[in-house]
Amino acid sequence: MNADLVVVGSGFFGLTIAERAASELGLKVVVLDRRHHIGGNAYSEMEPETGIEVHRYGAHLFHTSNERVWEYVNRFTTFTDYVHKVYGVHKGEVYSLPINLATINQFFRANLTPGEAKALIQEQAGELAGTDPQNLNDKGIQLIGRPLYEAFIKHYTGKQWQTDPKDLPAGIISRLPVRYNYDNRYFNDKYEGLPTNGYTAWIEKMADHPNIEVRLNTDFFDDSHEYSKSKVVGKIPVVYTGPVDRYFDFVEGDLSWRTIDFEEEVLPVGDFQGTSVVNYNDADVDFTRIIEPRHFHPERGYQEEKTVIMREFSRFAEKGDEPYYPINTADDREKLLKYRDLAAAEDMVLFGGRLGTYKYLDMHMAIGSALSMFDNKIRPAFADGLKMESGGVDA
């Protein structure tokens, strides 16, 4: 295939660009991915011992209020009526999350009305009223009061960041949701569900086009193939969704990320925890949560002899780790400004996706961003003959 466009990375951003370019513009698109599978972190597969579909890179819950995104994704998959709900363990007791009226009444052993609960939280949050907290710990207390913050936020956040919240900047949290009703849905979006036949089936449908060639186990930075960076940049337009610092060989320094480790275990029971996700909020448990994938698709009627669970551990990413969440320190932002300028100076290279822009993007946000890039950059360049302005990295 003589490519008109090279897409680096086969996650939702990259595949949305590839599918639109192939379907709408008739372009020949080559998609490269260094992994053995397509789909990026949304990849799922059946766990062989149990037959249960597992999200290989952690729980992926699809939700959106964006009508265009919803219409687009429904071209490739139908969705179940799954509604995500999370529970959290604190001192051996299970609570409903996010913090809602049920959580508050259970925690305080009370029967408060919505107004009474709101007044109580405001009173407790008043401990630091009128101050300007500079660390996450004090900011959390100011937002929801010390008792709820220390029970459900402090230690969980500390495990996520491997850092005492007193040493984390207040800017990490701008608000902590508290619902003064019994609504325990995790998301508030108009549309929510899981792909009926799984994420990989959805992703494969997006890539199933005669003008799209997917090359797996192929590193963009490996000169041994015809679509490597050194051979295509400046000659063929590129949409790059890998880590932006890696693209520039870390010339301005490494950006910092958090990563996740998973401890997977098959258990000889039909149901381990009765729900898909349970957070472990206390400091004496070293993992952040347990995912039990069978509960993502109760409609499938999985066998009941065994289940699979995944314990999730969060830590700072090191060289060779899969980056998940941008940490975005002041030092990172300074580096990102420099990478932004470098990206803008490239020749026919667009940077997108979570890694390419150093932004945390949910799936629907990545798809929406890709659709916008197609409208504003790809289509004008190919359909209207306009010059492609490189970039896409904001800081």
Residues classed as catalytic = 175, 179, 258, 289, 312, 360, 362
Distance CA 367, CA 384 (A): 23
* Residue that the structure tokens 């192929």 belong to: 218
State the Cα angle at 37 between 84 and 31, rounded to 5°. 110
How buried is 388 (Cβ within 10 angstroms: 0-12 exposed, 13-18 middle, 19+ buried)? middle
- DSSP strand pairing (93-97 vs 289-291): unpaired
Beta bridge partners of 86: 97, 277
What residues contact 233, with CB distance under 8 A and at least 6 apart? 346, 347, 348, 349
CA Rg value for the chain: 23
What residues contact 230, with CB distance under 8 A and at least 6 apart? 223
Say how many C-beta atoms besides its own lie within 10 A of residue 71's C-beta.
Answer: 9
Strand runs (DSSP E) across 175-287, as ranges?
191-193, 212-215, 238-240, 257-267, 277-280
C-beta separation of 132 from 123 below 8 A: no
Strand runs (DSSP E) across the chain, as ranges?
5-8, 29-32, 44-46, 53-55, 62-64, 86-90, 93-97, 191-193, 212-215, 238-240, 257-267, 277-280, 289-291, 307-316, 325-326, 349-351
C-beta separation of 388 from 381 below 8 A: yes
- DSSP strand pairing (277-280 vs 349-351): unpaired
Instruction: Name the phi and psi angles at 7, rounded to 5.
Output: -115, 125
- DSSP strand pairing (212-215 vs 238-240): unpaired
